[in-house]
Amino acid sequence: MVQPKFKVVVLFAVFVLPALLLYSIFFLYPFVQGIRISFTNWDGLTPRTPISMPQAEFESTILNRVSSVADRDFLLATYQLDASDNQYKRLYVTGLARYRLQRILRRIGYEPQSYRVIGFANYVQIFAGKVEQRFYPHMFTKTNFNEDSDLPATIPRTEFERKFLPNLTNADDKALAEHYYALAGDAYALQPQFNEFNLEDRIWLLPEVATTKRVSSESVDAFITSVKTAGLSKDSAALAGQVSEFLRDNTFSAASAAEVTAAARDIYGLGALKKMLAESWTDRQFEMGVVGFTIFFTFFTVLLSNLIAFFLALALDSGIKTQKVLRSVFFLPNVLSMIIVALVWSFVFYNLLPKLTGIELWMGDAAKAPWLIVLVQVWQQAGYLMVIYLAGMSNVPTDVLEASSIDGATFGKRLRHITLPLLVPAFTICLFLSLSNSLKSFDLVYAMQGPSGYATGTVPFVMDIFFDAFAKKQAGLGTAKAILLFLLIALVTGVQLSISKRREVQL
């Protein structure tokens, strides 16, 4: 039956247009707007059409440059002069009026200072390595001691023996370090006679300072600080100068003066060790940065959640009695929102695990945090993927499996030659879903850590974008990053899908 062409077209439109329109309005149009924002220096706060402006500026930069009478009238209806402070103030505009206003301002070339089109500058900045260093993977030298601080009471043994001593080339330095710090249990402890607080107390507790208060605490403080400085630069002449000056400016008994000199020499002596600790107790480490963490997170969540899901499916497809109940159990985390998931795990990390294991630091430990976030994401996602694998497995004909098992094929062989090939479509879809989910994951880290994730190096790409756009007031830059992420996701999932499809065909 052949229908008249126009009827076909009308029907096509009736069926397709609702979805297409909604999609265009709420997805495509904002997307195009997003692309536009990525080419501006917008700060995320400046309105595109100014809300208030001094009278003279408004007239010269806007009003007088509008040629059309209708537009001028429209402008004057939207902006009203507030005579009390000579400002033109805009009424709240929305909908078509807002678009008309934007169009008028665009036509006369007016751009707010923080909402200007700047071309590819945001993109150039990202590729030239000009955004925050923490965005990129980089090497970082971690210094474990700040030379101006007090000497640590203890240094863990592994730190001392692996990260500090080997960096000392000079044998005298090594001897000095071991003179100050002695092994006690699994840490090196500062010998009591070098306790800085006690050394300083030899001056602070002198009768002239503590009892008669003839010597002010300001001058003691200044003196000790200068002795420390001299110690750090190993400047013995400066030490001698400071001591004699201090003794000259303040009146001390002979005994006290001797004590000042002795204590100052000991405090001065700590400087050599402090300098050594600050310079040599370091470790050079690799920082993943936002980009690196996103890759790390995506790689491990995709790998682990698919592996675990696959093995769960295999176990629950074996005919055990409780398989239906267990399926729901494993699927359960998936019906919880990411916010709930994050809260549940915060309970576990703060309240439960420390009590169970005696280890205090979990999310607060930069070495563990990236793995814990992967763990939580895997926990949440694996049940969902498991269901897809289960579905794939139910497509494997049981008679083939039984026949092969009678022929003596081992479990491993059956898995490799019968089950796996038939599961390739399920792999394809699971990889696609887990890849794009992981790359777009936001709620989880946002709820678990917020911006503090920068300190543990666990900020994913999308959260960095969110932080840029609003907290840092760099919406243009943030959106440019988002566009790059979009291209990355499109590329990664595109490559994955095309490889998987080719394999499906080959099999």
Q: Which of residues 181-200 bind another protein (CB under 8 A)?
A: 197
Q: Is 120 in the site for another protein (CB under 8 A)?
A: no
Instruction: In angstroms, give the least distance from the CB of 85 to another protein.
Output: 7
Q: Which of 70, 332, 403, 507 binds another protein (CB under 8 A)?
A: 332
Do residues 364 and 456 lie in contact, with contact meaning Cβ atoms separated by under 8 Å?
A: yes
Q: Is 401 in the site for another protein (CB under 8 A)?
A: no
Q: Is 253 in the site for another protein (CB under 8 A)?
A: no
Q: Which of 119, 337, 397, 507 binds another protein (CB under 8 A)?
A: 337
Do residues 300 and 374 lie in contact, with contact meaning Cβ atoms separated by under 8 Å?
A: yes
Query: What spatial distance separates the first Cα and last Cα of the chain, rounded to whole Å?
Result: 40
How many residues interact with another protein (rule CB under 8 A)?
151
Using CB under 8 A as the binding rule, the residues of this chain from 295 to 314 that contact another protein are none
Q: Which of 113, 170, 211, 506 binds another protein (CB under 8 A)?
A: 113
Do residues 274 and 147 lie in contact, with contact meaning Cβ atoms separated by under 8 Å?
A: yes
Q: What is the DSSP string of 110-161?
A: ---TTS-B-TTHHHHHHHTT-S-GGGS-EEEEEE---TTSPPPSEEEHHIII
Q: Is 455 in the site for another protein (CB under 8 A)?
A: yes
Q: Is 123 in the site for another protein (CB under 8 A)?
A: no
Closer CB to another protein, 240 or 409, in the complex? 409
Torsion, CA 98, CA 104, CA 110, CA 112, rounded to 10: 0
Do residues 396 and 424 lie in contact, with contact meaning Cβ atoms separated by under 8 Å?
A: no
Closer CB to another protein, 165 or 497, in the complex? 497
Using CB under 8 A as the binding rule, the residues of this chain from 48 to 87 that contact another protein are 50-52, 84-85
Q: Is 478 in the site for another protein (CB under 8 A)?
A: yes
Using CB under 8 A as the binding rule, the residues of this chain from 485 to 504 that contact another protein are 485-486, 489-490, 493
Distance of CA 10 to the CA centre of its chain: 51
Q: Is 263 in the site for another protein (CB under 8 A)?
A: no
Q: Which of 15, 120, 127, 286 binds another protein (CB under 8 A)?
A: 15
Q: Which stretch binds another protein (CB under 8 A): 178-186, 241-249, 253-261, 363-371?
A: 363-371
Q: Which stretch binds another protein (CB under 8 A): 69-77, 121-129, 184-192, 358-366?
A: 358-366
User: Cα 376–382–388 angle (5° rounding)?
Assistant: 160
Strand partners, 188: 155, 183
Using CB under 8 A as the binding rule, the residues of this chain from 127 to 186 that contact another protein are 140-144, 146-150, 152
Using CB under 8 A as the binding rule, the residues of this chain from 85 to 104 that contact another protein are 85, 89-90, 92, 94-96, 98-99
- Rounded distance between C-alpha atoms, residue 43 and residue 37, angstroms: 10
Instruction: In angstroms, give the least distance from the CB of 83 to another protein.
Output: 13
- Rounded distance between C-alpha atoms, residue 425 and residue 63, angstroms: 63
Q: Is 286 in the site for another protein (CB under 8 A)?
A: no
Q: Which stretch binds another protein (CB under 8 A): 42-50, 161-169, 170-178, 182-190?
A: 42-50
Q: Which stretch binds another protein (CB under 8 A): 63-71, 72-80, 220-228, 247-255?
A: 220-228
**Residue of 233, 259, 257 whose CA lies nearest to 245:** 257
Closer CB to another protein, 71 or 464, in the complex? 464
b/e map 63-88, b = 16+ CB within 10 Å: beebeeeebeebbeebbeeeeeeebb
Q: Is 44 in the site for another protein (CB under 8 A)?
A: yes
Q: Which stretch binds another protein (CB under 8 A): 21-29, 155-163, 239-247, 256-264?
A: 21-29
- Rounded distance between C-alpha atoms, residue 397 and residue 418, angstroms: 9
Torsion, CA 200, CA 205, CA 209, CA 213, rounded to 10: 140
Q: Which of 119, 307, 450, 495 binds another protein (CB under 8 A)?
A: 450
Q: Which stretch binds another protein (CB under 8 A): 254-262, 297-305, 404-412, 498-506?
A: 404-412
Closer CB to another protein, 188 or 384, in the complex? 384
3-state secondary structure of 191: coil
| 98-106 LR contacts (CB < 8 Å, sep 24+) | 98/49, 100/74, 101/49, 101/74, 101/75, 102/48, 102/49, 104/66, 104/71, 104/74, 104/75, 105/48, 105/49, 105/62
Give the E-state strand segments of 233-362 in sequence order. 282-287
3-state secondary structure of 182: strand
- Compute the residue count for the chain: 507
Instruction: In angstroms, give the least distance from the CB of 163 to another protein.
Output: 12
Using CB under 8 A as the binding rule, the residues of this chain from 409 to 428 that contact another protein are 425-426
Q: Which of 199, 276, 295, 338 binds another protein (CB under 8 A)?
A: 338
